[in-house]
Chains A and B, each alone.
Chain A
Amino acid sequence: MKDNFLLEVKNISKYYPVYATFLHIEVTKKLVLKNISFSLGYNTSLGVLGASGCGKTTLAKLIARIEQPDNGSIFIEGKDINSYTKEEFALKVQLLFQNPFSMLNPKLPIKFLLSERIKQYFVLNKKKVNKELIRYKIDELLEIAKLPKDVLNMYPHQLSGGQKQRVAILMVLTLQPKLIILDEPLSALDVSLQAQMLNFFSELKQKYGFSYIFITHDKNLAEYFCDKILYLYEGGRYELQ
């Protein structure tokens, strides 16, 4: 195994069972991904483009270990993803979804959400943590995201769309993962906010040096934002540019 790749995907295939309408019997299998292989280096980015139902989100789920492939295997830093413990894996790969609201617990204020994540980071890295350190870290995060301090005592529903998305990104970043998978994170925002988020994310990438996989349906956005683009087609074909 070469160690200079962050992510290596080797010949993965995925089928979904198709059930009969009346009796719940498996009739056939639908092929979603077929023998896909690619690799991703450190501090680079990959855009995933394709039409509806061609397996973009499935690919994300496989890499994030939410589902298992039928064939092939996925390696992160040279190790099979299944050989990591849950805690170790949390520090390697994180997912960011289309709807930031679904990531934020509506009953908890932002301060609590962020401090929980910071605690988690220190616990996973087996370091000691105290209140002051958490406070310092939160201030640092707010400064990075250019969010006002009032946000801390607010609940998710009180934030605007852009602010919510920023908090969601901060929550993902506090764990300092090596790879972030972005599943259509911008499609619910208006253009000006989209541009703001893209700039914000580019700044963060320079600062923290992570890689990301950007799933989108917008070709222009992928071309602007990513180094390489993976086109997925129906029936499992793919093309890497």
Chain B
Amino acid sequence: MITQGLVLNIENLDVSFDIKDKTYFVLRGINLELYSGQKIAIVGESGSGKTTLANSVLLLNEKKITSYFGNIIFYPKKENCNFCFPKWEIVYTEEYYNEQTNVSTYEVFELDEYSMNHLRGNHISIIFQDPFTALNPVIPVGKQVEEVIKNHNPNLTKKDIYNKVLDLFLQVNLNEPQTIYKKYPHQLSGGQLQRVCISIAIANQPEIIIADEPTTALDAYLRETILDLLINMTQKYNSALLLITHDINIIKNYVDYVYILYAGEILEIASTEQIFYNPLHPYTQLLFSCYADKAKKGHKLPTLPYELPDISDHDFVFEKCIFLNRCNKKIKRCNEGKPELYSIKEQKVKCFLYER
């Protein structure tokens, strides 16, 4: 059983990629708190760093090119896990202050692979965008679910594991579990495969489920069914859900909080109701105005001008408002520096328009 409380705390996280002599500052100053049972959506355009954020929590970004800075701290909430510490520092940055020179140096620690493997699939699990590539094509799907259970529960017998897999298949509405167990990924449809992926994610009843665009690769008709299933499963086990998506409309009925991510920065944090009722940031407002509906018939739809900014440009990225060149509500103050996250009632917004 998962107890209540804070499960994941991301503090001032920076992630950068070094590719061909250039440094890309993919995520900057990300702060995120996740409590058990809470459902959070991270919304952004393609290329805004959503997947990098999801992968960072499990240290799945390519090791050779990625550098982290900041803290990602995970607090286990499972009662029967003997292996666990009260907290895991997945990424931890320590400051060394030299009093003689008045200079601080930082050292970043990442959790070792052995401990990470304990967390992956057991405490934090991830559902990838494309179920066709997430599963191994030469192993029957039942065996792949079995593997996840076996790795984290070495004491279970073969028969117990088999029964657990069949039970999981029934939970995710896969009928005839015995038949599905023996099937290879290419023999199943997209919806069925995504259900198998969900069953892998919930197999060990993790504290956190990260769903990285779980419905993008599926037919539009299947989306709601899969999302419904995902939400039901997280509620059943009291897991926290981090849902990553580019379509703000599909999350309307599913999540508690929405984080708007743009070019690696969080621009607005609000509850789902507030973000639909009263979006504050010009970017969020533009996003909503792009949706087509009957009232706009015959008129051109507004679009976002220009492309995403160049995130390898150090000066621009760290010293200017990241939305500056696409913003339609610029004021004089915008050219002078970088805004912080300002609190407006319960919402938080990173824009000079709300500076006090």
Q: Which residues of A line the B interface, CB within 8 A?
A: 21, 51-53, 98, 160-161, 184, 187-188, 190-196, 198-199, 202, 216-218, 220-221, 223-225
Could you list 12 further interchain pairs (A-B, Cβ under 8 angstroms) beyond the known A195-B290, A220-B291, A224-B301? A51-B221, A52-B225, A98-B219, A184-B219, A188-B216, A193-B46, A198-B292, A198-B301, A199-B300, A216-B220, A220-B292, A224-B293
Q: Judge if B302 is at the interface, Cβ distance under 8 Å.
A: yes
Known A98-B219, A190-B45, A224-B294; judge A195-B303 contact (CB<8 A).
Answer: yes
The 8 A CB mask of B289-317 against A (1 = contact, 0 = none) is: 01111101100111110000000000000
Are A191 and B297 closer than 8 Å at their CB atoms? no
Q: Judge if B60 is at the interface, Cβ distance under 8 Å.
A: no
A191 to B285 CA separation, bound complex (whole angstroms)? 12
Are B221 and A52 closer than 8 Å at their CB atoms? yes
Residue of B nearest to A160 (CB): B46
Are B246 and A196 closer than 8 Å at their CB atoms? no
Q: Which residues of A contact B303 (CB under 8 A)?
A: 192, 195-196, 199
Majority secondary structure of chain B interface residues (helix, strand, loop or mixed):
loop
Q: Judge if B287 is at the interface, Cβ distance under 8 Å.
A: yes
Contact sample, A vs B, 28 pairs, CB 8 Å cutoff = A21-B179, A51-B221, A52-B221, A53-B221, A160-B46, A161-B46, A184-B220, A188-B216, A190-B46, A190-B246, A191-B248, A191-B287, A192-B286, A194-B290, A195-B291, A195-B302, A198-B301, A199-B300, A199-B301, A216-B220, A218-B220, A220-B291, A220-B292, A220-B294, A223-B293, A224-B292, A224-B294, A224-B296
Size of B's binding interface in residues, CB under 8 A: 27
Q: Which residues of B line the A interface, CB within 8 A?
A: 45-46, 176, 179, 216, 219-222, 225, 246-248, 286-287, 290-294, 296-297, 300-304
Q: Which residues of A contact B297 (CB under 8 A)?
A: 223-224
A190 to B244 CA separation, bound complex (whole angstroms)? 13
Q: Which residues of A contact B221 (CB under 8 A)?
A: 51-53, 217
Q: Which residues of A contact B248 (CB under 8 A)?
A: 191
Residue of B nearest to A50 (CB): B221
Listed residue (B220, B247, B304) with the most chain A CB atoms within 10 angstroms of its CB: B220
Known A52-B219, A190-B46; judge A223-B290 contact (CB<8 A).
Answer: no
Listed residue (B225, B292, B304) with the most chain A CB atoms within 10 angstroms of its CB: B292
A51 to B222 CA separation, bound complex (whole angstroms)? 9
A97 to B287 CA separation, bound complex (whole angstroms)? 25
Are B293 and A220 closer than 8 Å at their CB atoms? yes
Q: Which residues of A contact B301 (CB under 8 A)?
A: 195, 198-199, 224
Residue of B nearest to A53 (CB): B221
A218 to B219 CA separation, bound complex (whole angstroms)? 13
A229 to B248 CA separation, bound complex (whole angstroms)? 25
